[in-house]
Amino acid sequence: MIRHLNVDIPGQGLHEITDRLEAMVREAGVKEGLCTLFVQHTSASLLIDAGQDGPSQNDPLYTHQNEGPDDMPGHIKSALTATHLCIPVVGGRLALGTWQGVHLWEHRHQRGARRIVVHLGV
Amino acid sequence: MIRHLNVDIPGQGLHEITDRLEAMVREAGVKEGLCTLFVQHTSASLLIDAGQDGPSQNDPLYTHQNEGPDDMPGHIKSALTATHLCIPVVGGRLALGTWQGVHLWEHRHQRGARRIVVHLGV
Amino acid sequence: MIRHLNVDIPGQGLHEITDRLEAMVREAGVKEGLCTLFVQHTSASLLIDAGQDGPSQNDPLYTHQNEGPDDMPGHIKSALTATHLCIPVVGGRLALGTWQGVHLWEHRHQRGARRIVVHLGV
Protein backbone atom coordinates (compact mmCIF):
# COMPACT_ATOMS: atom_id res chain seq x y z
CA MET A 1 0.00 0.00 0.00
CA ILE A 2 1.37 3.39 -1.04
CA ARG A 3 0.66 6.64 0.78
CA HIS A 4 2.02 10.16 0.31
CA LEU A 5 3.14 12.50 3.05
CA ASN A 6 3.74 16.14 2.16
CA VAL A 7 5.68 18.16 4.67
CA ASP A 8 5.75 21.95 4.66
CA ILE A 9 9.04 23.06 6.13
CA PRO A 10 9.89 26.56 7.35
CA GLY A 11 13.59 26.13 6.62
CA GLN A 12 16.69 24.20 7.56
CA GLY A 13 16.60 21.82 10.51
CA LEU A 14 14.79 18.84 11.95
CA HIS A 15 11.06 18.44 11.51
CA GLU A 16 9.39 15.67 13.49
CA ILE A 17 6.83 13.64 11.54
CA THR A 18 6.21 10.81 14.02
CA ASP A 19 2.60 11.79 14.81
CA ARG A 20 1.57 12.16 11.18
CA LEU A 21 3.16 8.83 10.36
CA GLU A 22 1.45 7.09 13.28
CA ALA A 23 -1.89 8.51 12.11
CA MET A 24 -1.23 7.21 8.60
CA VAL A 25 -0.49 3.70 9.86
CA ARG A 26 -3.61 3.76 12.05
CA GLU A 27 -5.86 4.94 9.21
CA ALA A 28 -4.43 2.33 6.85
CA GLY A 29 -5.39 -0.36 9.38
CA VAL A 30 -2.03 -2.12 9.23
CA LYS A 31 -1.60 -4.24 12.37
CA GLU A 32 1.69 -5.93 11.66
CA GLY A 33 4.10 -5.17 8.87
CA LEU A 34 6.75 -2.79 7.68
CA CYS A 35 6.53 0.95 7.08
CA THR A 36 9.08 2.34 4.61
CA LEU A 37 9.58 6.05 4.00
CA PHE A 38 11.36 7.48 0.97
CA VAL A 39 12.08 11.19 0.55
CA GLN A 40 12.01 12.33 -3.09
CA HIS A 41 14.67 15.03 -2.71
CA THR A 42 18.46 15.09 -2.57
CA SER A 43 18.63 18.05 -0.17
CA ALA A 44 16.65 16.47 2.65
CA SER A 45 17.20 13.30 4.68
CA LEU A 46 15.25 11.04 6.99
CA LEU A 47 16.45 10.09 10.43
CA ILE A 48 15.39 8.41 13.62
CA ASP A 49 16.51 10.43 16.57
CA ALA A 50 15.73 11.03 20.20
CA GLY A 51 12.56 13.01 20.53
CA GLN A 52 12.84 14.38 24.01
CA ASP A 53 16.46 14.64 25.09
CA GLY A 54 17.79 14.85 21.55
CA PRO A 55 18.77 17.70 19.27
CA SER A 56 16.38 20.58 19.13
CA GLN A 57 15.87 22.95 16.26
CA ASN A 58 18.27 25.27 18.05
CA ASP A 59 21.08 22.77 17.88
CA PRO A 60 23.83 24.26 15.68
CA LEU A 61 24.22 20.95 13.88
CA TYR A 62 20.80 21.29 12.37
CA THR A 63 20.36 25.03 12.07
CA HIS A 64 23.63 26.70 11.07
CA GLN A 65 25.18 26.28 7.71
CA ASN A 66 28.75 27.35 8.31
CA GLU A 67 29.89 25.05 11.06
CA GLY A 68 30.16 21.34 11.62
CA PRO A 69 28.61 18.76 9.32
CA ASP A 70 26.13 21.29 7.95
CA ASP A 71 29.04 22.74 6.11
CA MET A 72 29.43 19.54 4.13
CA PRO A 73 28.69 19.85 0.43
CA GLY A 74 25.28 18.45 -0.42
CA HIS A 75 26.65 15.47 -2.28
CA ILE A 76 28.66 14.31 0.71
CA LYS A 77 25.54 14.69 2.82
CA SER A 78 23.45 12.61 0.46
CA ALA A 79 26.17 9.93 0.49
CA LEU A 80 26.20 9.73 4.28
CA THR A 81 22.61 10.42 5.32
CA ALA A 82 19.47 8.43 4.61
CA THR A 83 16.96 8.84 1.79
CA HIS A 84 14.83 6.07 3.24
CA LEU A 85 13.87 4.49 6.56
CA CYS A 86 12.14 1.21 7.44
CA ILE A 87 10.20 0.85 10.69
CA PRO A 88 8.34 -2.33 11.70
CA VAL A 89 4.66 -2.03 12.61
CA VAL A 90 3.61 -4.07 15.67
CA GLY A 91 0.13 -4.01 17.23
CA GLY A 92 -0.97 -1.33 14.79
CA ARG A 93 1.80 1.07 15.82
CA LEU A 94 5.30 1.97 14.70
CA ALA A 95 7.70 -0.14 16.77
CA LEU A 96 9.78 2.84 17.86
CA GLY A 97 11.78 2.78 21.08
CA THR A 98 10.79 5.03 23.96
CA TRP A 99 13.15 7.82 22.94
CA GLN A 100 12.86 7.50 19.18
CA GLY A 101 11.11 9.88 16.79
CA VAL A 102 11.02 10.10 13.00
CA HIS A 103 12.37 13.31 11.49
CA LEU A 104 12.77 14.97 8.15
CA TRP A 105 16.13 16.74 8.11
CA GLU A 106 16.01 19.67 5.73
CA HIS A 107 19.38 20.86 4.43
CA ARG A 108 18.24 24.05 2.70
CA HIS A 109 17.40 27.41 4.24
CA GLN A 110 14.35 28.46 2.25
CA ARG A 111 10.77 27.49 2.98
CA GLY A 112 9.38 24.67 0.88
CA ALA A 113 7.40 21.46 0.60
CA ARG A 114 8.91 18.00 0.74
CA ARG A 115 7.35 14.85 -0.62
CA ILE A 116 7.73 11.54 1.22
CA VAL A 117 6.44 8.32 -0.34
CA VAL A 118 5.32 5.79 2.28
CA HIS A 119 5.05 2.06 1.58
CA LEU A 120 3.08 -0.07 4.02
CA GLY A 121 3.76 -3.79 3.56
CA VAL A 122 2.80 -6.91 5.49
CA MET B 1 6.12 -11.87 10.52
CA ILE B 2 7.63 -10.06 13.51
CA ARG B 3 10.37 -11.47 15.74
CA HIS B 4 12.33 -9.97 18.60
CA LEU B 5 16.08 -10.26 19.15
CA ASN B 6 17.45 -9.20 22.52
CA VAL B 7 21.18 -8.67 22.65
CA ASP B 8 23.13 -8.52 25.93
CA ILE B 9 26.15 -6.34 25.36
CA PRO B 10 29.19 -6.10 27.62
CA GLY B 11 29.91 -2.50 26.58
CA GLN B 12 30.93 -0.29 23.69
CA GLY B 13 31.91 -1.85 20.38
CA LEU B 14 30.76 -4.24 17.68
CA HIS B 15 28.71 -7.30 18.52
CA GLU B 16 28.14 -9.78 15.71
CA ILE B 17 24.58 -11.12 15.49
CA THR B 18 24.79 -12.93 12.14
CA ASP B 19 24.43 -16.44 13.59
CA ARG B 20 21.44 -15.57 15.75
CA LEU B 21 19.77 -13.87 12.80
CA GLU B 22 20.42 -16.83 10.50
CA ALA B 23 18.89 -19.15 13.11
CA MET B 24 15.85 -16.90 13.35
CA VAL B 25 15.31 -16.96 9.56
CA ARG B 26 15.73 -20.75 9.50
CA GLU B 27 13.28 -21.31 12.34
CA ALA B 28 10.74 -18.98 10.73
CA GLY B 29 10.91 -21.14 7.58
CA VAL B 30 11.27 -18.16 5.24
CA LYS B 31 12.76 -19.35 1.95
CA GLU B 32 12.69 -16.16 -0.09
CA GLY B 33 11.95 -12.69 1.14
CA LEU B 34 13.33 -9.73 3.00
CA CYS B 35 14.67 -9.55 6.54
CA THR B 36 14.52 -6.07 8.13
CA LEU B 37 16.16 -5.25 11.46
CA PHE B 38 15.30 -2.20 13.53
CA VAL B 39 17.13 -1.26 16.73
CA GLN B 40 14.93 0.47 19.30
CA HIS B 41 17.65 2.68 20.77
CA THR B 42 19.33 5.93 19.75
CA SER B 43 22.71 4.98 21.20
CA ALA B 44 23.24 1.85 19.15
CA SER B 45 23.42 1.27 15.39
CA LEU B 46 23.25 -1.62 12.97
CA LEU B 47 25.86 -2.26 10.34
CA ILE B 48 27.01 -4.76 7.80
CA ASP B 49 30.73 -5.17 7.97
CA ALA B 50 33.48 -7.58 7.11
CA GLY B 51 33.45 -10.50 9.52
CA GLN B 52 36.93 -11.86 9.11
CA ASP B 53 39.35 -9.20 7.91
CA GLY B 54 37.31 -6.33 9.27
CA PRO B 55 37.41 -4.31 12.46
CA SER B 56 37.82 -6.26 15.65
CA GLN B 57 36.62 -5.24 19.06
CA ASN B 58 40.15 -3.93 19.63
CA ASP B 59 39.84 -1.45 16.79
CA PRO B 60 40.04 2.05 18.32
CA LEU B 61 37.13 3.16 16.12
CA TYR B 62 34.80 0.90 17.98
CA THR B 63 36.28 0.76 21.46
CA HIS B 64 37.68 4.13 22.49
CA GLN B 65 35.56 7.11 23.18
CA ASN B 66 37.99 9.96 22.95
CA GLU B 67 39.44 9.59 19.48
CA GLY B 68 38.10 9.41 15.99
CA PRO B 69 34.43 9.11 15.11
CA ASP B 70 33.62 7.66 18.52
CA ASP B 71 34.13 11.14 19.80
CA MET B 72 31.17 12.35 17.75
CA PRO B 73 28.19 13.52 19.79
CA GLY B 74 25.45 10.93 19.89
CA HIS B 75 23.07 12.92 17.74
CA ILE B 76 25.60 13.21 14.90
CA LYS B 77 26.12 9.48 15.16
CA SER B 78 22.43 8.75 14.95
CA ALA B 79 22.19 11.02 11.90
CA LEU B 80 25.00 9.21 10.08
CA THR B 81 24.67 5.60 11.19
CA ALA B 82 21.85 3.14 10.64
CA THR B 83 18.89 2.35 12.87
CA HIS B 84 17.71 -0.30 10.43
CA LEU B 85 19.05 -2.79 7.88
CA CYS B 86 17.36 -4.80 5.12
CA ILE B 87 18.86 -8.08 3.93
CA PRO B 88 17.27 -10.28 1.24
CA VAL B 89 16.62 -13.94 2.08
CA VAL B 90 17.47 -16.38 -0.72
CA GLY B 91 17.26 -20.18 -0.42
CA GLY B 92 16.33 -19.89 3.24
CA ARG B 93 19.48 -17.92 4.14
CA LEU B 94 20.48 -14.28 4.46
CA ALA B 95 21.96 -13.24 1.10
CA LEU B 96 25.14 -11.87 2.65
CA GLY B 97 28.36 -11.68 0.66
CA THR B 98 31.31 -13.87 1.63
CA TRP B 99 32.88 -11.25 3.85
CA GLN B 100 29.77 -9.68 5.29
CA GLY B 101 28.43 -10.02 8.82
CA VAL B 102 25.61 -8.26 10.69
CA HIS B 103 26.65 -6.26 13.75
CA LEU B 104 25.10 -4.26 16.52
CA TRP B 105 27.34 -1.25 17.16
CA GLU B 106 26.96 -0.14 20.75
CA HIS B 107 27.95 3.47 21.46
CA ARG B 108 27.79 3.39 25.26
CA HIS B 109 30.31 2.01 27.72
CA GLN B 110 28.09 0.34 30.27
CA ARG B 111 26.70 -3.20 30.07
CA GLY B 112 23.10 -3.44 28.92
CA ALA B 113 20.47 -5.11 26.80
CA ARG B 114 19.42 -3.95 23.35
CA ARG B 115 16.16 -4.72 21.62
CA ILE B 116 16.05 -5.37 17.89
CA VAL B 117 12.70 -5.83 16.13
CA VAL B 118 12.97 -8.14 13.10
CA HIS B 119 10.43 -8.14 10.26
CA LEU B 120 10.41 -11.10 7.88
CA GLY B 121 8.47 -10.37 4.70
CA VAL B 122 7.97 -12.24 1.44
CA MET C 1 10.65 -11.87 -5.89
CA ILE C 2 14.46 -11.97 -6.02
CA ARG C 3 16.55 -10.70 -8.92
CA HIS C 4 20.27 -10.31 -9.38
CA LEU C 5 22.06 -7.33 -10.86
CA ASN C 6 25.72 -7.71 -11.76
CA VAL C 7 27.60 -4.50 -12.35
CA ASP C 8 30.95 -4.38 -14.16
CA ILE C 9 32.87 -1.42 -12.84
CA PRO C 10 35.95 0.14 -14.41
CA GLY C 11 37.28 1.38 -11.06
CA GLN C 12 36.60 3.72 -8.18
CA GLY C 13 33.68 6.17 -8.35
CA LEU C 14 29.97 6.39 -8.91
CA HIS C 15 28.22 4.12 -11.37
CA GLU C 16 24.60 4.91 -12.15
CA ILE C 17 22.31 1.88 -12.26
CA THR C 18 18.92 3.64 -12.44
CA ASP C 19 18.11 2.52 -16.00
CA ARG C 20 18.97 -1.11 -15.40
CA LEU C 21 16.91 -1.11 -12.20
CA GLU C 22 13.92 0.52 -13.94
CA ALA C 23 14.11 -2.16 -16.66
CA MET C 24 14.20 -4.89 -14.02
CA VAL C 25 11.08 -3.52 -12.29
CA ARG C 26 9.27 -3.22 -15.65
CA GLU C 27 10.15 -6.77 -16.72
CA ALA C 28 9.07 -8.15 -13.34
CA GLY C 29 5.67 -6.53 -13.86
CA VAL C 30 5.54 -4.99 -10.39
CA LYS C 31 3.03 -2.13 -10.40
CA GLU C 32 3.06 -1.11 -6.75
CA GLY C 33 5.45 -2.27 -4.09
CA LEU C 34 8.92 -1.90 -2.70
CA CYS C 35 12.26 -2.42 -4.42
CA THR C 36 15.15 -3.23 -2.07
CA LEU C 37 18.77 -3.41 -3.24
CA PHE C 38 21.54 -5.08 -1.27
CA VAL C 39 25.20 -4.99 -2.34
CA GLN C 40 27.13 -8.13 -1.36
CA HIS C 41 30.47 -6.40 -0.82
CA THR C 42 32.02 -4.35 1.98
CA SER C 43 34.04 -2.12 -0.37
CA ALA C 44 31.10 -0.73 -2.32
CA SER C 45 28.02 1.22 -1.24
CA LEU C 46 24.64 2.18 -2.65
CA LEU C 47 23.39 5.73 -2.75
CA ILE C 48 20.63 7.90 -4.12
CA ASP C 49 22.09 11.06 -5.54
CA ALA C 50 21.34 13.81 -7.98
CA GLY C 51 21.67 12.53 -11.51
CA GLN C 52 22.06 15.73 -13.44
CA ASP C 53 23.48 18.48 -11.27
CA GLY C 54 25.15 16.12 -8.85
CA PRO C 55 28.65 14.71 -8.53
CA SER C 56 30.26 13.48 -11.70
CA GLN C 57 32.90 10.82 -11.96
CA ASN C 58 35.40 13.65 -12.05
CA ASP C 59 34.39 14.84 -8.62
CA PRO C 60 37.40 14.37 -6.30
CA LEU C 61 35.15 12.93 -3.63
CA TYR C 62 34.46 9.92 -5.74
CA THR C 63 37.64 9.52 -7.76
CA HIS C 64 40.69 10.32 -5.63
CA GLN C 65 41.81 8.17 -2.80
CA ASN C 66 44.07 10.47 -0.85
CA GLU C 67 41.83 13.41 -0.07
CA GLY C 68 38.52 13.87 1.64
CA PRO C 69 36.23 11.08 2.72
CA ASP C 70 37.78 8.72 0.18
CA ASP C 71 40.73 8.63 2.50
CA MET C 72 38.58 7.07 5.21
CA PRO C 73 39.53 3.52 6.11
CA GLY C 74 37.16 0.99 4.58
CA HIS C 75 35.58 0.05 7.89
CA ILE C 76 34.62 3.64 8.67
CA LYS C 77 33.12 3.87 5.20
CA SER C 78 31.07 0.73 5.64
CA ALA C 79 29.82 2.07 9.00
CA LEU C 80 28.65 5.35 7.48
CA THR C 81 27.53 4.44 3.97
CA ALA C 82 24.71 2.18 2.84
CA THR C 83 24.79 -1.51 1.99
CA HIS C 84 21.13 -1.42 1.06
CA LEU C 85 18.47 0.92 -0.33
CA CYS C 86 14.66 0.74 -0.43
CA ILE C 87 12.71 2.54 -3.15
CA PRO C 88 8.90 2.38 -3.46
CA VAL C 89 7.43 1.32 -6.81
CA VAL C 90 4.40 3.36 -7.93
CA GLY C 91 2.64 2.94 -11.28
CA GLY C 92 5.19 0.36 -12.38
CA ARG C 93 8.14 2.72 -11.88
CA LEU C 94 10.63 3.54 -9.15
CA ALA C 95 9.21 6.49 -7.19
CA LEU C 96 12.37 8.56 -7.53
CA GLY C 97 12.27 12.33 -7.37
CA THR C 98 13.09 14.40 -10.45
CA TRP C 99 16.75 14.76 -9.54
CA GLN C 100 17.36 11.38 -8.01
CA GLY C 101 19.35 8.51 -9.46
CA VAL C 102 20.52 5.19 -8.00
CA HIS C 103 24.27 4.65 -7.88
CA LEU C 104 26.76 2.01 -6.95
CA TRP C 105 29.69 3.72 -5.23
CA GLU C 106 32.83 1.69 -5.73
CA HIS C 107 35.60 2.30 -3.18
CA ARG C 108 38.38 0.30 -4.85
CA HIS C 109 40.59 1.28 -7.76
CA GLN C 110 40.77 -1.93 -9.72
CA ARG C 111 38.26 -3.14 -12.30
CA GLY C 112 35.80 -5.72 -11.07
CA ALA C 113 32.26 -7.05 -10.90
CA ARG C 114 29.81 -6.25 -8.14
CA ARG C 115 26.77 -8.29 -7.19
CA ILE C 116 23.56 -6.61 -6.10
CA VAL C 117 20.63 -8.69 -4.85
CA VAL C 118 17.27 -7.06 -5.61
CA HIS C 119 14.09 -7.90 -3.70
CA LEU C 120 10.76 -6.85 -5.22
CA GLY C 121 7.93 -6.98 -2.71
CA VAL C 122 4.30 -5.92 -2.74
pLDDT digits (tens, 9 = 90+) for A75-122: 677 678 899 999 999 999 999 999 999 999 998 888 889 999 999 999
**pLDDT given at position A50:** 77
Whether residues B121 and A48 touch (CB distance < 8 A) is answered with no
Question: For residue C108, is pLDDT > 90?
Answer: no
ipTM of the complex: 0.85
Smallest Cα–Cα separation from B87: which of B51, B39, B33, B49? Answer: B33
Tens of pLDDT along chain B (122 residues) come to: 999 999 999 888 899 999 999 999 999 999 999 999 999 998 899 999 876 444 444 555 555 444 444 456 666 676 788 999 999 999 999 999 999 999 999 988 888 899 999 999 99
Span C78-101, pLDDT tens digits:
678 899 999 999 999 999 999 999
Whether residues B78 and A33 touch (CB distance < 8 A) is answered with no
Kindly indicate the confidence band of residue A65, based on its pLDDT and cuts at 50, 70 and 90: very low
Kindly indicate the confidence band of residue C66, based on its pLDDT and cuts at 50, 70 and 90: very low
Q: How far is CA B93 from CA A18, B87, C85, in A?
A: 33, 10, 19
Q: What is the mean pLDDT of residues C30-56?
A: 84
Which domains are seen in chain A, by residue range? 2-121 (2.60.120.460)
Kindly indicate the confidence band of residue C60, based on its pLDDT and cuts at 50, 70 and 90: low
Q: Which of A73, A79, A117 sits opposite C95 (nearest CB)?
A: A117
Helix (H) or strand (E) holding A3, with range, is strand A2-9
> Around Cβ A112, how many Cβ atoms within 10 Å?
15
Which positions in chain C touch B61 (Cβ < 8 Å)? Answer: 73, 75-76, 79
Alpha-carbon distance B81 to B69, whole Å?
11
Alpha-carbon distance B60 to A98, whole Å?
30
Alpha-carbon distance B89 to B22, whole Å?
10
**pLDDT given at position C79:** 74
CB B69 within 8 A of CB B76: no
CA angle C104/C36/B8 to nearest 5° reads 100
Contacts of B among chains (3+ CB pairs under 8 A): A, C
Q: Which of C41, C79, C115 sits opposite B81 (nearest CB)?
A: C79
Contacts of B49 (CB under 8 A, 6+ apart): B14, B55, B100, B101, B103, C42, C75, C78, C79
B6 to chain A, any CB pair closer than 8 A? The answer is no
- Taking the CA atoms of chain A, what radius of gyration do you get in angstroms? 14
C76 to chain A, any CB pair closer than 8 A? The answer is no
Q: Kind of pairing, strands A33-39 and A84-90? A: antiparallel
Span A38-55, pLDDT tens digits:
999 988 999 998 764 444
Mean of all residue pLDDT scores within chain A:
85
CB C13 within 8 A of CB C108: no
Secondary structure (H, E, C), B39-95:
ECCCCEEEEEEECCCCCCCCCHHHHCCCCHHHHCCHHHHHHHCECEEEEEEECCEEC
Whether residues B86 and C36 touch (CB distance < 8 A) is answered with yes
- How many residues belong to chain B? 122
- Taking the CA atoms of chain B, what radius of gyration do you get in angstroms? 14
Q: What is the mean pLDDT of residues C99-112?
A: 90
